[in-house]
Amino acid sequence: MRMTRKFFGTDGIRGLANTEPMTAATALRVGMAAGAYFTRGDHRHRVLIGKDTRLSGYMLEPALVAGFTAVGMDVFQVGPMPTPAVAMLTRALRCDLGVMISASHNPFHDNGIKLFGPDGYKLSDAAESEIEAMILGDAAPALAAADKLGRARRLDDADGRYVEFAKATLPKGRALAGLKVVVDCANGAAYKVAPAVLWELEAEVIPIGVKPDGFNINRDCGSTHPRALQEAVVAHGAHLGIALDGDADRLVMVDERGAVIDGDQLMAVIAESWLRQGRLARGGLVATVMSNLGLERFVNGLGIDLVRTKVGDRYVLEAMRGQGYNLGGEQSGHIILSDFATTGDGLVAALQVLAALCESGEKASAFCRRFSPYPQLLRNVRHAGGRPLETPKVQQAIDAAEKTLGKGGRIVIRPSGTEPLIRVMAEGEDELLVQRVVDDIITALEQAA
C-alpha cells in the first residue's frame, strides 16, 4: 500500500495551478530538494526540464530553475515537449534527473511535476518519499557557493532529437507513403513534433489541435475528446486518425469510418504483429484489470499470455520490468513499449500500429479491430466513509454476481484513490446479465453507504 503523502501522488505532484502544491514557492522547494537528492559525486550535475502548453508552465518552470541552480545544478530547458521525450532526453544527455511540467489529460487550470531518474524512469515511491521529506523538513538543502551556482540554457535541438528518435522506431526501410493521417495533438506538448515525425515518414498529414494558447490544452480535443478527430478523418477522407493527450503519453486512434479504436485494440494489434516478428518478449503483454476480457481471450488464442495489474501505468511498468515483458498498457491508451521508451509514448505506439497497418494492406476499420469487446459496464457509487465493501450484504451481492457470470465474465470492484467513490465494473457475454449484476451490487452499496 502506498503511504499517504502531502505532495507526491500516483503520478508525481499534481494540483490546481497557483494553489498548493502547484505554486511557485513549492516548485522552488521541489527543485532544491530534488536537485540535492540527485547531487552525487564531483561531476557537474544537470537536469532537463520540459513542459506542456499550460499557462501555468510559465510560472512553474522558472521557479524550478531557480531551485535547481541554487543547489548547483545546470539546467537544460527544452520547452513544450512530450513526457516520453523528456524521459528519453534525460537518459540520452546523461542528465542526473529530468522534470516534466504537465497534468497530462487534465484541463489547463491543473498542472503537475513529474520527476525522472537518470535512467529515464519515473522515481520509485522510496525516492519520492525522501524528496518529500526534504521539501517538508526544517533544514533547507545545502545551497551552492556563489561560484558554484548552476547555469540555465535552452536546448535548441531538442525537437529534432526526439523527431529522429521517434522515426527510428519504425521498422527499418518502412515508410508511410500513401497514407493520409489526421493527427490531433490536443493543443499540447506534441503540437510540433508529432506532425513533423509523420510528415518526414512520408505520410500526408492533416494536423489539428496544434494551436495552443495556454488555455485550450485537452479542451474538446485529444485522446479524451476524440469527436473533433472523428469528424476530421471522415471530412478529409483520411485512412485513420491519431489522438494524443496533452503530454502525448496517451493514444487513441480513429478508423476511416470515424470509429474510435481504444488502447485494448491497439495493444492487440501490436502484440500480434510483434509475435509474428519474434519481437514479443516472453510471449506476453501486461494490462490492467480494466482491459476488456475480449482482449484476454484474443491474445490467449494466439498463445500470448496476459498479465493483469492494478489500474495505473506505473503498475503496468513495474510488472513489465519485474517479469521481462516489453509490451504493456491500459485501455485508456497508455501504451508502454520498453524496447523504445521508459514510459508511455503515444506517438511511438501509433507508429507501430501504422507500420502493421501498411504491411497488411487492409483498411483500419478491419485491421485495427482484432477482437469483439465483451459488453462492459462501469458505475461509481459515492459513500460517506467507512468500509461499505466489507458489509455482509455487499459481500453477498458480489458473491452472487460472480456465480451468475461464471467463467463467461468477471467483476472488478475498487475504491477510488482520490475520491470517496467505489468503482464497480462487470463484463460478460450477456449484456443484460452484466447490467443486472452491476445494478444488484450498486443497490447493496447504496444501502450500506
Q: Which residue has the cell 493527450?
A: 245
Distance, in Å, from the CA atom of 87 to the CA atom of 250, rounded to the nearest integer, reads: 15
Contact 330, 313 (CB under 8 A): yes
Helices (H), 224-363: 227-236, 263-277, 293-301, 313-323, 346-360
Distance, in Å, from the CA atom of 367 to the CA atom of 370, rounded to the nearest integer, reads: 7
Contact 112, 14 (CB under 8 A): yes
Catalytic residue among 56, 102, 104, 291: 104
Active-site residue, 129 included: no
Three-class HEC string of 378-424: EEEEECCCCCHHHCHHHHHHHHHHHHHHHHHEEEEEEECCCCCEEEE
Of 204, 194, 207, whose CA–CA distance to 167 is shortest? 194
Of 82, 125, 128, 113, whose CA–CA distance to 342 is shortest? 82
Distance, in Å, from the CA atom of 424 to the CA atom of 410, rounded to the nearest integer, reads: 11
Distance, in Å, from the CA atom of 195 to the CA atom of 175, rounded to the nearest integer, reads: 15
Three-class HEC string of 34-73: HHHHCCCCCCCCEEEEEECCCCCHHHHHHHHHHHHHHCCC
Grid cell in block for residue 52:
506542456
Helices (H), 81-124: 83-92
148: DSSP letter: G
Distance, in Å, from the CA atom of 77 to the CA atom of 154, rounded to the nearest integer, reads: 5
**Residue type at 326?**
N
Backbone angles phi, psi at 153, to 5 degrees: -150, 155
Contact 388, 380 (CB under 8 A): no
In a 10 Å sphere around its CB, with 0-12 CB exposed, 13-18 middle and 19+ buried, how is residue 262 labelled?
buried
Tell me the catalytic residues: 104
